[in-house]
Structure formats: structure tokens, C-alpha cells
Amino acid sequence: AQKVTQAQTEISVVEKEDVTLDCVYETRDTTYYLFWYKQPPSGELVFLIRRNSFDEQNEISGRYSWNFQKSTSSFNFTITASQVVDSAVYFCALRTNAGKSTFGDGTTLTVKP
């Protein structure tokens, strides 16, 4: 069985603050893939990043960065200098080689002006 845990249900920050969203996963598979998705108030789910289990390099894309640590089964997401438009629900997800995708419960981020 696989499981994704996002312990932070809600986070509220003030614009320009940095914020980190935590994600911890469980799987017995040795090959797997991790994702982050964003769901803005409009409701659609938007893909942000994909990481495979063999690639522990951190990644930075603009104000977004991701820290994958296999030793702690974590795949955390940091937004630097947050903006109001970052307000959304963020989902971490795990996909096995068989194709099944499991999502965490999501973290609702509110960025206040």
C-alpha cells in the first residue's frame, strides 16, 4: 500500500514570506514518482513538478524549490517570497511504476497582502 501525508492542513503567511509545505510518503516500491500539484480557487488541478525515486537532486524553478530526501521519505516544497497569487491548495502525490497515483490531503496556503 502507498500513502502520502501532508501534515499541514492550513498555512497562512504574509506576502513576501517564505513558506515550506511538507510531504511524507510511504511505499514499498523501489521505483516511484513524486509530484506536486496546485489547485487554485478556480478549482482546476495544475501539475507543478515530477521527481523520480532515483533523482534526489533538489530543483529550483523561479520562486519554487523542492527538496527530495529519500532517507526521510520526504518531498518538501518551498515558495520563496510568497505572493497573493500563490494562495491555493497544494497536493503532494505518489505514483508507482504500475501507474497508480495517490494524493495527500492537501495543504491550503493563504498568502495575505
Q: List own/partner pairs for 65-73 with CB under 8 A and 24 or more apart.
A: 66/36, 68/34, 72/24, 73/24, 73/25, 73/26
SS3 (DSSP) at 70: helix
SS3 24: strand
The smaller minimum CB distance to other proteins, of residues 44 and 85, is found at 44
Please state the closest distance from residue 23 (CB atom) to other proteins, in A. 14
Question: Using CB under 8 A as the criterion, which residues of the chain lie in contact with other proteins when the complex forms?
Answer: 33, 35, 37, 43-47, 50, 52, 91, 93, 95, 97-106
Residue 15 or 64: the one with the smaller Cβ distance to other proteins is: 64
Q: 12 or 52, CB closer to other proteins?
A: 52
